[in-house]
Amino acid sequence: MDLLYYLSFAIMIFGSGMLHVEWYSSITEMMNGLRKNTFSAVEYYTVLQIFLVIPQLLFNVLPFAAVWFTSGWTFIFNLITVFILFLAYAEAAKFSNTNKFWGFIFPVTTLLFIYIQMRSMIYTLVNDGIAWQGTHYPLKDLRKNRFM
């Protein structure tokens, strides 16, 4: 097999420059669009949704905050963690054709995603289901479609 074969395979996997789809045109539109979807990712398990927010806070937000409020070895470990997260984001940016400096807002986007997840859960529980394209889907019916 030649180099062209392997190169085309890599392009197929990463899809760099192959397709661009704009899901949402604003953050508000994204938050409203994901409201019906994110709670379904945990198959409408409230405890699991809350449980999965904790590691996001611990690993994606806390180190950035802790750099400002700690000292000594704790400061050093948090600074190393932040540096590793920046490196990982910069490396991932190469494959997704995004700006590597967006890593600086990573903790903010994590908090936004947590907000979207919790908003989705609360909205679904309060409204006993989701509304999609003018139809209300009751929570008991949504839970019947669980895979776990």
Size of the chain in residues: 148
Cα–Cα dist 20/45, whole Å = 33
**How does pLDDT run across 47-57, given as a tens digit for each residue?**
999 999 999 99
pLDDT tier at 15, thresholds 50, 70, 90? low
Q: What are phi and psi of 131, to 5 degrees?
A: -110, 130
Most confident of 27-36, 50-59, 99-108, 128-137: 50-59
Q: Which two tokens stand for residue 136?
A: 């209300």
Written in H, E and C, the secondary structure of 4-22 is HHHHHHHHHHHCCCCCCCC
